[in-house]
């Protein structure tokens, strides 16, 4: 089937890539077999310690300990985010390993969260439920855990939640009653999900469903953050995706070269971070990456390098961009509208999926620290330098109780636009007033993966992840030594 999808010219190029890719693969595997060689200075290491603990404290302090409902954002109180809960479940063991809380505290909070989610009503009703067919709604009400307004039943947000649940299942391996219960409830949550129900078109998952209107017309196609989602669907022992799900996914890929970096591009960097937060893709390959002579970890590394190169080139002339100030992803922004700055009309956005690819350039001068800092496993030196530069240049503005605030914009330094939130500091720029759980999470998880590989090593032992990867056609590396589920 693969041969039929290429012209002779494309086939020749692909075969050439395979032949020359053997050396690339060998070099790459040796380079990424463990934490990268870059060693931070004592001063840089101290900042990383502070970033890690403050980011962890955001999850620990803002989550309701009775229900485990983690806010979508803080200090503005809106609703709980299912994806943020998944990051929080992964944060608690990190806090225990670092000594910020005890293992018993982590287990207590984890069990309360999983039990609350398991006991939430499920069903096709528009109100009074937290999910349907094992999936959860994107946002939940704080008070009840029920669906927030008319948000969709979300496949990807359920996937991020399950990433945290399965990490908890594998991490809490002790004999205590609490740890046994964590394993059991996490298992029940995962086994309840009816993955094939979301296949509305041949072998591709729909992004969501609403009881009022049915399935969202958009499917998960093209390279993006859904890698974790499809692996989870393939790994299910109860309601799995069919054997063609991964091939259907990779058949929608588009290989491009951006800023001199050939890779599967996706504009915002979160798409290159989320799946890697839980799954160690270093040295393992599916059929697509075997043809390219690399792995998905290297693909994300190239995406990060392309973003940094774009910031250095700064084709749109935004203030502040450079070798150490970079990073575009989905994040808060100042407002939706235009403003005249230095004789040029500039368009700004509030929450927006910022990023660059060969298809789009979504850039309004807003930098999200999570884009650079959460890329530390891919580009440790450049990410650490970015963290230091943002802390030093914007620390008094974009840094607070829980580490980096969600975003800042050095270009928007004056005027009185109708800000969505945040504030303009004359001479410095716009700074956000909130922290977002889905941006805090990648910072904490990827920082810990780079330093100790805690999440990666733990998830390598999860039988559902191993089964999902093997059904997707992955082989090599650590997966070759993983026990057969």
| Percent of the chain surpassing pLDDT 90 | 88
pTM higher than the cut 0.75: yes
As a whole number, mean pLDDT of residues 252-277 equals 98
pLDDT in tens, 79-96: 999 999 999 999 999 999
Is 4 strand, coil or helix? helix
* Residue 422 near residue 398 (C-beta atoms within 8 A): no
Work out the pLDDT band at 78, boundaries 50, 70, 90: very high
- What backbone torsions phi and psi does residue 30 show, to the nearest 5 degrees? -70, -30
Helix, strand, coil percent values for the chain (each to nearest 5): 45, 15, 40
Q: Report the C-alpha gap between 2 and 11 in whole angstroms.
A: 10
As a whole number, mean pLDDT of residues 473-478 equals 98
Q: What does the block give as tokens for 130?
A: 């937290």
**pLDDT higher than threshold 80 for residue 128:** yes
**What is the structure's pLDDT at 31?**
37
Work out the pLDDT band at 44, boundaries 50, 70, 90: very high
Please give the DSSP secondary-structure letter assigned to residue 358.
S
The single residue listed with the structure tokens 């937060």 is 277
Residue 77 burial (10 A CB sphere; 0-12, 13-18, 19+)? exposed
Q: Report the C-alpha gap between 443 and 468 in whole angstroms.
A: 25
Q: At what angle do helices 42-62 and 380-398 cross, to 10 degrees?
A: 60
**What is the structure's pLDDT at 203?**
83
Spatial neighbors of 315 by CB under 8 A, at least 6 apart, are none
Q: Report the C-alpha gap between 13 and 291 in whole angstroms.
A: 11
pLDDT in tens, 342-386: 999 999 999 999 999 999 999 999 999 999 999 999 999 999 999
pLDDT in tens, 393-428: 988 889 999 999 999 999 999 889 999 999 999 989
Phi-psi region of 133 (alpha: psi -120 to 50; beta: other; left: phi over 0): left
Mean pLDDT score of the chain, rounded to an integer?
Answer: 92
132, containing H or E segment: strand 131-132
**What is the structure's pLDDT at 104?**
98
**What is the structure's pLDDT at 395?**
81
409, containing H or E segment: strand 408-409
186, containing H or E segment: helix 177-192
As a whole number, mean pLDDT of residues 452-468 equals 98
Cα separations in angstroms, 43 against 22, 49, 305, 339, 384: 39, 10, 24, 39, 11
pLDDT in tens, 325-338: 999 999 999 999 99
As a whole number, mean pLDDT of residues 200-208 equals 91
Work out the pLDDT band at 483, boundaries 50, 70, 90: confident
**pLDDT higher than threshold 50 for residue 458:** yes
Is 307 strand, coil or helix? helix
pLDDT in tens, 160-172: 999 999 999 999 9
Phi-psi region of 152 (alpha: psi -120 to 50; beta: other; left: phi over 0): beta
Start-to-end CA span in the chain (Å)? 29
Q: Report the C-alpha gap between 398 and 72 in whole angstroms.
A: 19
Q: Report the C-alpha gap between 428 and 114 in whole angstroms.
A: 43
pLDDT in tens, 13-41: 333 333 333 333 333 333 343 444 899 99
Cβ atoms within 10 Å of 215's Cβ, excluding its own? 18
**What is the structure's pLDDT at 164?**
98
pLDDT in tens, 144-157: 999 999 999 999 99
Q: Report the C-alpha gap between 430 and 312 in whole angstroms.
A: 21
Please give the DSSP secondary-structure letter assigned to residue 5.
G
**What is the structure's pLDDT at 379?**
98
Work out the pLDDT band at 198, boundaries 50, 70, 90: very high
**What is the structure's pLDDT at 429?**
95
* Residue 116 near residue 132 (C-beta atoms within 8 A): no
215, containing H or E segment: strand 214-215
């Amino acid at each position: 089937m693969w041969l039929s999808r290429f012209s002779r010219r494309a086939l020749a190029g692909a075969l050439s890539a395979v032949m020359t890719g053997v050396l690339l693969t060998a070099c790459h595997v040796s380079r990424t077999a463990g934490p990268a060689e870059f060693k931070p200075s004592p001063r840089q290491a101290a900042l990383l310690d502070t970033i890690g603990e403050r980011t962890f404290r955001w999850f620990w302090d803002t989550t309701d300990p009775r229900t485990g409902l983690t806010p979508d954002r803080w200090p503005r109180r809106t609703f709980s985010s299912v994806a943020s809960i998944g990051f929080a479940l992964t944060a608690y063991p990190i806090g225990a390993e670092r000594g910020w809380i005890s293992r018993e505290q982590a287990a207590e909070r984890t069990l309360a969260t999983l039990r609350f989610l398991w006991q939430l009503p499920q069903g096709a009703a528009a109100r009074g439920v937290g999910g349907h067919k094992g999936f959860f709604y994107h946002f939940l009400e704080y008070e009840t855990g029920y669906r927030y307004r008319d948000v969709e039943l979300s496949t990807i947000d359920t996937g991020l939640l399950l990433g945290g649940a399965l990490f908890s299942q594998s991490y809490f391996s002790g004999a205590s009653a609490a740890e046994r219960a964590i394993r059991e409830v996490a298992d029940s949550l995962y086994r309840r999900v009816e993955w094939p129900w979301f296949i509305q078109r041949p072998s591709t998952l729909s992004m969501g469903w609403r009881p009022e209107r049915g399935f969202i017309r958009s499917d998960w196609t093209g390279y993006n953050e859904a890698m974790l989602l499809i692996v989870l669907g393939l790994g299910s022992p109860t309601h799995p995706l069919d054997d063609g799900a991964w091939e259907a996914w990779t058949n929608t890929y588009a290989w491009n070269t951006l800023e001199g970096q050939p890779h599967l591009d996706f504009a915002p960097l979160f798409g290159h971070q989320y799946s890697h937060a839980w799954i160690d893709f270093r040295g393992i390959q599916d059929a697509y990456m075997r043809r390219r002579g690399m792995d998905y970890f290297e693909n994300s590394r190239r995406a990060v390098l392309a973003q940094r190169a774009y910031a250095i080139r700064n084709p749109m002339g935004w203030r502040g961009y450079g070798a150490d100030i970079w990073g575009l992803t989905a994040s808060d922004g100042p407002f939706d509208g235009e403003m005249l700055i230095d004789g040029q009309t500039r368009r700004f956005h509030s929450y927006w999926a910022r990023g660059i690819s060969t298809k789009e350039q979504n850039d309004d001068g807003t930098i999200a620290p999570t884009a650079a800092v959460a890329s530390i496993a891919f580009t440790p030196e450049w990410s650490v330098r970015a963290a230091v530069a943002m802390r030093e240049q914007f620390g008094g503005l974009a840094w607070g109780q829980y580490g980096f605030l969600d975003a800042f914009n050095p270009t928007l330094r004056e005027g009185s636009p109708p800000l969505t939130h945040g504030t303009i500091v004359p001479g410095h720029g716009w700074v956000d007033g909130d922290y977002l759980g889905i941006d805090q999470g990648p910072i904490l998880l990827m920082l810990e993966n780079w330093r100790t590989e805690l999440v990666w090593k733990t998830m390598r032992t999860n039988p559902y992840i191993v089964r999902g990867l093997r059904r997707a056609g992955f082989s090599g590396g650590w997966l070759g030594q993983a026990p057969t589920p």
